[in-house]
Amino acid sequence: MRNEDSPGFWLKPVPLGFLLIGLGGLIYFFLFNYSTDSDPNFLIEIGKVLCSVAISSGFIGLLLEVKTIKSIILSVLNTILDGDYKLDSYSIEKLHSIKKRVIIAEHNKKFSEQELENSIYALEDNINTLITNRYYELDETFCWIEPDDEEKIFNKRFKRKLIISNKYSDNNIFKMTLKLVREEDDTDYINWLSFKEFKVYNDTSGDPQDLKEEIQRMIKVEKLPEDDRSPYTHILTVEKQLDGNKKVTVFIEYQYSSPMTDFTQTFKSILPCKEFCHKVFIDGKYDNNWTFAINGFAPLYFPGSNISEKFKVDVHTNKSGEVIFNNWCLPGTGYVVSLRRINE
């Protein structure tokens, strides 16, 4: 084995092979022309043998090196064919181009790149941006709707457990929005929404952060423009920065009321969600006077799709039902609850 620290002359296998072949051949040529059959020379014959050995050694070395090179080339080709190579050196534009070529090849070149760009593939970038953004690992919600026939309102109570993750940033946020129907002279914003619990557990500490006392500073109310297609007059937003936490678990319990003219309740998720489970119940003194229907919806959900088996809407009785999504669902996933008086 060669000592890297010791000085000395050193040739790589390929140049050494060519050197042995060249020198051996050159010396053999001179020795061959120098000797004759009529006057053989013992030393010259030995020299010829040594030259032959040198030439053979050179060829053997080259053949072995060619075999090594062949193995390297085959390894590189296999790596390329398997797709197991680094893409870090490629520009974003080049990666987009490669991705389009792969998709076209997957579909047996049924369409051109221009046709691909004009297809539903145009939405792909919107989904890609969600990969490194916030998402819900879990959205588990219980909702109790209590009709009050005397006051002509629906009292709605919610208990929610949210696990919010942002793996690629410390910029985490809790946010929820509600659309409400309120009379023009009802400006008592503080009492529109009542929180009984608001606790946040981060991923590094077991002690919860109780935010109940900060609720009023988080609430923002905005008047909505008039729209004949919607009964809602205001949108209420609750938002809290939770920076420094890649993952938080939020427990909230809140309630609000709506007039009976607002007989539908719509929920839409604002983030991608890995596990979604919402359960809705009709409860209270007048529960026997009411029933409901619940309909779920989700982007990319359609009969026969590979996510259809993961999406389930169950109505257990005329007073309880649930919407379950056991796989990734996109923002906009949700449901509509339609309340109806039984004798109507």
Contact (Cβ atoms closer than 8 angstroms) between residue 320 and residue 281: yes
pLDDT at residue 311, rounded to an integer: 81
Residue 159 has pLDDT above 90, yes or no: yes
pLDDT at residue 123, rounded to an integer: 85
94-141 pLDDT, tens digit per residue, is 888 888 888 898 888 888 988 988 998 888 888 888 888 999 999 999
Residue 179 has pLDDT above 60, yes or no: yes
Lookup result for tokens 């609750």: 238
Q: Which of 177, 244, 241 is nearest to 214 (CA)?
A: 241
Q: Residue 152: what are its φ and ψ, rounded to 5°?
A: 60, 45
Q: What angle, 0 to 180 degrees and rounded to 10, lies between the N-to-C axes of helices 13-34 and 42-82?
A: 150
Which residues does 155 contact at the CB level (< 8 Å), separation at least 6? 145, 146, 147, 148, 255, 257, 284
264-308 pLDDT, tens digit per residue, is 989 999 999 999 999 999 999 999 999 999 998 888 776 666 666
Distance, CA of 256 to CA of 143 (rounded, Å):
11
Alpha carbon of residue 90 to chain centroid:
21
Contact (Cβ atoms closer than 8 angstroms) between residue 337 and residue 262: no
pTM over 0.85: no
* Rounded mean pLDDT, 28-57: 61
Which residues does 54 contact at the CB level (< 8 Å), separation at least 6? 20, 21, 23, 24
The band of 93, judged by pLDDT with boundaries at 50, 70 and 90, is: confident
The band of 18, judged by pLDDT with boundaries at 50, 70 and 90, is: low
Residue 167 has pLDDT above 80, yes or no: yes
Q: Residue 188: what are its φ and ψ, rounded to 5°?
A: -85, 70
Q: Which residue would you say has higher pLDDT here, 170 or 247?
A: 247
The band of 9, judged by pLDDT with boundaries at 50, 70 and 90, is: very low
Distance, CA of 222 to CA of 189 (rounded, Å):
10
Distance, CA of 154 to CA of 76 (rounded, Å):
68
Topology of domain 135-341, per CATH? Immunoglobulin-like (2.60.40)
